[in-house]
Structure 1
Amino acid sequence: MAAHNRNPSTPATSSSSEPDTRPKSSKDSSDGDAGIGGLSVLDLLRVLGGILLLSCGMSYLSTSGQSLTWGYNPWWTRTREWKALIKGQVYLTDEQLRAYDGTDPRKPIYLALNGTIYDVSASPQTYGPGGSYHFFAGRDAARAFLTGCFQEDQTPDLRGVEMMYMPVDAPVDSKAPDSQPQSYDPVEGKPTDTPDVEAHKKARSQDKRRKPLTKGEIKNRHAQELRQARKKVREGLEHWHKLFRGDKDKPYFKVGEVKREPGWLDKVPRRKLCEHAEQSRPKREE
Structure 2
Amino acid sequence: MADSELRQRKQQDAKPAKTKSSSKSRIDEEDAYSPWLDTLRVISFLFVASCALSYWISNGESFFWGMRNKPHYLRVDWWKAQIQGPIYLTPEQLAAYDGKDTSKPVYIAINGTIFDVSVGRHIYGPGGSYSYFAGCDAARAFVTGCFADDRTPDMRGVEDMFLPLDDPEIDAQWTTAEMKEMKAMELAAAQRQVQDALKHWVNFFGNSKKYHKVGYVKREKNWLEKQPRRELCAPAQQGRSKRKPRHAKEEK
**C-alpha contact (below 8 Å) 2:141/2:151 kept by paired residues:** yes
Pairing partner for 2:211 from 248, 252, 272: 252
Say whether 1:90 aligns with 2:87.
Answer: yes
* Closer/same/farther in 2, CA of residues 92 and 148 from structure 1, 3 Å limit: same
Corresponding residue for 1:160?
A: 157
Q: How does 1:116-127 map to 2 (within 5 A)?
A: 116-127=113-124
Corresponding residue for 1:265?
A: 224
TM-score by length of 2: 0.66
Q: How does 1:141-220 map to 2 (within 5 A)?
A: 141-170=138-167, 172=169, 212-220=173-181
Structure 1: give runs of 5+ residues left out of the alignment: 1-53, 68-77, 176-209
Deviations 1:56-77 (A, max 9, x none): 776446674734xxxxxxxxxx
Corresponding residue for 1:128?
A: 125
Q: Counterpart amino acid of 1:268? A: Q
**C-alpha contact (below 8 Å) 1:169/1:285 kept by paired residues:** no
How much has 1:285 moved relative to structure 2?
Answer: 1.0
Instruction: State the number of aligned residues.
Output: 186
Larger proportion of helix: 2
Q: CA RMSD in A?
A: 2.7
Corresponding residue for 2:182?
A: 221
Q: How far apart, in 2, do the equivalents of 1:147 and 1:270 lie?
A: 15
Q: How far apart, in 2, do the equivalents of 1:252 and 1:142 lie?
A: 17
How much has 1:275 moved relative to structure 2?
Answer: 1.2
Q: Counterpart amino acid of 1:117? A: I
Structure 2: give runs of 5+ residues left out of the alignment: 1-50, 62-66, 246-252
Q: Aligned residues: percent identity?
A: 50
Task: Report SS of the residue matched to 1:255.
Answer: strand
Q: How far apart, in 1, do the equivalents of 2:109 and 2:237 lie?
A: 25
**C-alpha contact (below 8 Å) 2:111/2:202 kept by paired residues:** no
Task: Report SS of the residue matched to 1:168.
Answer: coil
Corresponding residue for 2:102?
A: 105
How much has 1:213 moved relative to structure 2?
Answer: 2.1
Say whether 1:275 aligns with 2:234.
Answer: yes
* Closer/same/farther in 2, CA of residues 273 and 211 from structure 1, 3 Å limit: closer
Corresponding residue for 2:46?
A: none
Pairing partner for 2:70 from 66, 70, 74: 66
**C-alpha contact (below 8 Å) 2:124/2:132 kept by paired residues:** yes
Q: How far apart, in 2, do the equivalents of 1:101 and 1:82 lie?
A: 19
